[in-house]
Amino acid sequence: MTRSPRFLTASALTLALLATPLFVAAAPAEPQAQPAALPLGRALSSFAGQQGVALSFDPALTAGRSAPAVADGLSVEAGFNQLLAGSGLRARRRADGSYTVERAAGKAPMPALRVEANAASTYLPSQLPYGQGTRLDEHALQAQVKGNGDIATALRSNPAVQFSDRSRTTRNMGEIRPDDFSINGAPYYQNLFLLDGASFNNDLDPVATAVGTTENTNHNSDVPSAAQGIAVDVDLLESLTVYDANVPAAYGGFTGGVVDARTRGARDAFGGKVWMRMARSAWDQIITNPAQDTTYEESATLAYQPAYDKYRVGARLEGRTQGGLGIIGTVVRSRSEIPLRAYTAGRSTPGNDVNQRTQTRENTAATVALDWSSDTLDLRLGLGYAPTDDRYFIANTKNSWFDLKSGGPTANLSAVWRHGAWTLSQRLSYSDLESSRRSEETTMRHWRPSQAFDWGVAAVSSEGSWGSVDQHDRKLGYTLSVAHDTVTVGRTAHDVQGGLSVQRRDANYKRLNDQYVYQSAVATRSCTLSDGRVDSVSCSLSPLLDGSGNGQYLSMLQLFHAGEFSVSGEEYAAWLQDDIRIGNWSVRPGLRLDRDNVFNQTNLSPRLAVSWDVFGDEDTRINAGVNRYYGRSFFAYLLRDGRERLRESKTRRSASTAWEDVAGTWNVATNRLRDLDSPYADEWSLGLDQRVAGLRISAKYVDRRSRRDVLRRRIGEPLDATLYNRNTFEYTNDGRSDAGIATLTVASREPWTFLGTRNSWQLAADHTDVKRNYNSYEDTLLMDELVRYEGKLMYRHQLPATDYLRPWSARLGTRTEVPALGLTWNNSFSYRAGYQGIATGRPETIDGVSVPNLTRQQFSGTWTWDASIEYRHALPRDQEAYVRVEAQNVLNRSNLTSGVAGTAFYEPGRSFWLELGYTF
């Protein structure tokens, strides 16, 4: 078989890359035949690059030797054996998946190098072995419609991932925080997020999020806390891997999936990139139900965002010193401005307050990475700082600005040491992620409108905010993993790996100052206290606007005392697995042990994955697995009880009574603590990976049974009425869900050419069936509560789930490159099937018990076309300028996702991003 000059050029490029000390993650590619005329060294390098593996060898070993022709479809081992036949050399596989080429007599192996993806990259997700999931390399990440540039947006083409119907809507286009998502039917907060192997989950209270929803951002005590502790920008990444089934034993702390992000390493040559992206509501089409038009126009809350301007600017520099030290630094700054009205329902204050305010969202993602390698040692240091500062105000309230701060610093130091057949990897990581609130006000007061307090528009003139609160989630962790090169025992080959980890976790909730909330105005003619002092804080003689001539005093005080509560402890883990190959079979048994002394849990997770190469040519693989995963518990369970006890209530009957003379009533907690077990999920899966007729086909079914999930339930009578009130709740392990998810992916194995264009595509579809008796751990519903649904009595846990769980969907992605014109055109077509929501009607009484009456609400399917087009213009001295335009919902389809009439949620209408960039 012969290859085109373009293929020979790509092979020469791959060989040149091998000669440099690069460390770049490779995407798996399909094996290709090598021309007989190629030198052996070049053939080895090209074959390794196309297989997506690392290869090391001494070029002197292959000098003067030619490579024989290699047939298509060979495995890695078979391909190397055919290339090396008769040369006196052999290829040996290392535990990390790299290969060494050495003399058969046993010459010491050279250190492994990573090779860049081959020039024939399809810019599509690659499949992982054992049906574990998919990986997006740097090329595939850039080929996506990036939107806000976050991880969640990059995963919208993944069939195992589902999003809330309210996550990305026409209501919240000004937000820049990443969306939450579910993997294989699990709760969105039970995913594990890793950046260079270290967790960036925020485990404070991930359900208390206000991003893009109607939830109350200005709660007196709760501060929003997103599941992703930092907003990771895809422009920082080299690869993004999602493990959704048959997850290796090295990963724990999830019942959904693992999202493993790897940052870029420095190239050899000095270079960099600067870019700017922008999106504006003036370019968009906002789709609403006519009943919502006025609500949009008069919006004073984040629940409806009629206008916004978003900007993202970034810069990257990289290079390598003569001593081999690689340095790369990247900064990305995002900002969104969302103008709103200060007062609801279109009202304008007649007094001394403004009527228009602009909320802002700001995020910075800055990283610096250093790496250095020798024959036996790889070192890498990564430092990151990713703070988010979102500015809000309280509608209908003067001087009510407050900031929600999240994110924070991260650090990661790793060392990989190779000694003979052993590879020892160590990682030390640190993060300090916050979810805090800052306000300049230490009081909140609710006055009746008067000459001094003249801004009220609804019989009240409010001022102030809820005060400052700090929440921090600090982690300091160490991980050790050991791997041995392949060991042959009889007819079996074993790759044994194991590891240990320990992590210190510290979380705290701290109210920084006493916060006073005054309310319930009563008419008065005097503000003089009984001791002769004048109350100028909670009393005013300014005449009320009702014409009575009276002043007013505030008769009720809610005092939120300064205080701090903290929780700390350690987590330990040990794991061991053996990747066994015998004939056409691969079997990977594993075992993971986790110990958590924060919640006093010890869990043992067996893992087993099996793969059968049916014909021994890697064209047909059947994968199966049986696994258990244990999820995480959150600090909110432990901190809630303490923060509720910081509240004191006082009521006075006269304006002459000083507050210090009023006996206060301390709030009793509404949350009772009890021992909780770790939630877990039992999984079995069956899948097929097939290569045929130039296609790559992957089909998989995953069955998940989740038990002991956490939710809140009401307690009939509290044990101690002095500590708990009658509306007391406790966290329990009464949550459960059953999920069955079938996915199908069909993609082109190689780009195909047509009239000077280069094309690739992927079709991904899923069918999801999930039954769950809760939505989050903050739900207060009883598992065995009776409801009437469509006329039938059933338990609540038997109801069909409605969010994150469209019954089926399909996604088609295409990419067309026109090299002669410097153009690239990406398309994403998605269809999400209609689903049955649940509406609540009038309750009925059965045997003296009130039973909710629920009915089915049908929502139609939605389909959307997103596209991007990019033009690149070459400049002298290896420089390049480019412009990129992204369009979401190109056809501006009206896609209703949930709600009705005035509460409807629609997918975004036609909207645009513009990006300009320059590389050197």
- d(CA 207, CA 888) in angstroms, rounded, equals 28
**Rounded Cα distance, 14 and 26, in Å:** 12
* Integer Cα distance of 772 and 795 in angstroms: 11
Dist. CA 863–CA 889, nearest whole Å: 9
Grade residue 481 by pLDDT with cuts at 50, 70 and 90. very high
Mean pLDDT for the stretch of residues 720-747: 80
Identify the weakest region by mean pLDDT among 501-515, 620-634, 825-839. 825-839
Confidence of residue 856 (pLDDT cuts 50, 70, 90): confident
Between residues 880 and 640, which one has the greater pLDDT?
880
843 and 850 in contact (C-beta within 8 Å)?
yes
pLDDT at 122 over 70: no
- The stretch 830-859 carries a mean pLDDT of 85
Residue 337 φ/ψ, nearest 5 degrees: -115, 130
- Secondary structure of residue 344 in the 3-state scheme: helix
Residue from 389, 385, 380, 382 nearest 366 by CA = 385
Among the listed residues 233, 24, 255, 65, the one whose alpha carbon sits nearest the alpha carbon of residue 149? 233
Residues in the chain: 920
Average pLDDT over residues 205-211: 70
Q: Which residue has the higher pLDDT, 877 or 892?
A: 892
Most confident of 31-45, 119-133, 201-215: 119-133
pLDDT in tens, 429-454: 999 999 999 998 999 999 999 999 99
CA neighbor of 507 nearest in space, from 554, 549, 565, 467:
565
Residue 29: the pLDDT is 37
Q: Which of 212-216, 365-369, 507-511 has the lowest mean pLDDT?
A: 212-216
- pLDDT(116) > 60: no
Indicate the pairing of strand 492-511 with strand 911-919. Answer: unpaired
Question: What is the reported pLDDT for 725?
Answer: 55
Which DSSP category does 201 fall into?
A: B
Which two structure tokens, joined as six digits, stand for 494?
A: 């074993």
- Residue 840: per-residue pLDDT: 79
Q: Look at residue 726 in the predicted model and tell me its pLDDT.
A: 56
| Segment 269-276 mean pLDDT | 94
The model's confidence at residue 405, banded by pLDDT at 50, 70 and 90, is very high
Residue that is written with structure tokens 């006890």 in the block: 645
Share of residues in the chain with pLDDT > 70 (%): 88
| Average pLDDT, integer, range 599-627 | 95
Whole-number pLDDT of residue 216: 59
Between helices 40-51 and 5-18, what is the axis angle to 10°? 90
Does the pLDDT of residue 763 top 50, yes or no?
A: yes
Average pLDDT for the chain: 86
Task: Check whether 136 has a pLDDT greater than 60.
Answer: yes
* Collapsed DSSP state (helix, strand, coil) of residue 299: coil
Picking from 220, 216, 668, the residue whose alpha carbon sits closest to that of residue 444 is 220
At 711 the pLDDT is 83
Q: Between β-strands 377-392 and 356-373, what pairing exists: parallel, antiparallel or unpaired?
A: antiparallel
The yes-or-no verdict on residue 88 having pLDDT over 90 is no
Residue 530, pLDDT above cutoff 90: yes
Taking phi over 0 as left and psi of -120 to 50 as alpha, with beta for the rest, 185 belongs to: left
Q: What is the pLDDT of residue 214?
A: 42
Which residue, among 640, 823, 644, has the nearest Cα to 725 in the 3D structure? 644
What are the phi and psi torsion angles at 352 (to 5°)? -100, 40
Span 321-352, pLDDT tens digits? 988 899 999 999 999 999 999 999 888 888 88
What is the chain's Cα-based Rg? 30
pLDDT at 579: 94
Q: Estimate the share of the chain in helix, then strand, then coil, as percent rounded to the nearest 5.
A: 10, 50, 40
- pLDDT of 210 above 50: no
Burial class from Cβ neighbours inside 10 Å (0-12, 13-18, 19+) for residue 84 reads buried
pLDDT exceeds cutoff 60 at 559: yes
Does residue 134 carry a pLDDT above 80?
A: yes
- Is residue 624 very low, low, confident or very high in pLDDT (cuts 50, 70, 90)? very high
Range 533-542 average pLDDT: 96
Report which of 313, 312, 308, 311 is spatially closest to residue 283, judged by C-alpha positions: 308
**pLDDT tens-digit map of 704-716:** 999 999 887 766 5
Local confidence band at 16 (pLDDT 50, 70, 90 cut-offs) = very low
* Rounded Cα distance, 899 and 905, in Å: 6
Q: For residue 16, what is the enclosing H or E element?
A: helix 5-18
Give residue-wise pLDDT tens across range 19-70: 333 222 333 333 333 333 467 877 787 777 667 677 877 776 777 677 776 6
Give the dihedral of Cα atoms 132, 137, 142, 143; nearest 10 deg: -60
Model pLDDT, residue 30: 37
Q: How far is CA 816 from CA 9, 450, 755, 881, in A?
A: 21, 66, 11, 19
Examine the pLDDT at 144 and tell me if it is beyond 90: no
- Token pair 């002043």 in the structure block, residue: 551
Determine contact, residues 225/210, Cβ cutoff 8 Å.
Answer: no
Residues of the chain with pLDDT > 90, as a percent, come to 61
Q: What is the pLDDT of residue 10?
A: 36
- Say yes or no to pLDDT of 90 above 70: yes
Q: Tell me, what's the pLDDT at 257?
A: 96
pLDDT digits (tens, 9 = 90+) for 649-704: 999 999 999 999 999 988 776 666 668 899 999 999 999 999 999 999 999 999 99
Report strand pairing: 669-672 vs 724-748: parallel
Q: How far apart are CA 434 and CA 406, in angstroms?
A: 5
Give the best-scoring range by mean pLDDT among 161-175, 247-261, 896-910: 247-261
The whole-angstrom separation of Cα 311 and Cα 533 is 53
Higher pLDDT, 749 or 683: 683
Enumerate the β-bridge partners of residue 168.
none
Q: How confident is the model at residue 78 (pLDDT cuts 50, 70, 90)?
A: confident
CA distance 642 to 598: 16
Cβ atoms of residues 203 and 841 within 8 Å: no
Is the distance from CB of 892 to CB of 909 less than 8 angstroms? yes
Q: What are phi and psi of 186, to 5 degrees?
A: -80, 160
- Residues 738-767 have a mean pLDDT of 94
Element (H, E) at 498: strand 492-511
Question: Contact 576/249 with Cβ under 8 angstroms?
Answer: yes
pLDDT computed for residue 644 by the predictor? 76
The answer to whether the Cα torsion of 169, 170, 172, 174 is positive or negative is positive
Handedness of CA 27, 492, 588, 620 (dihedral sign): positive
481: its two tokens: 């993993």
Largest CA-CA distance found in the chain, in angstroms, rounded? 108
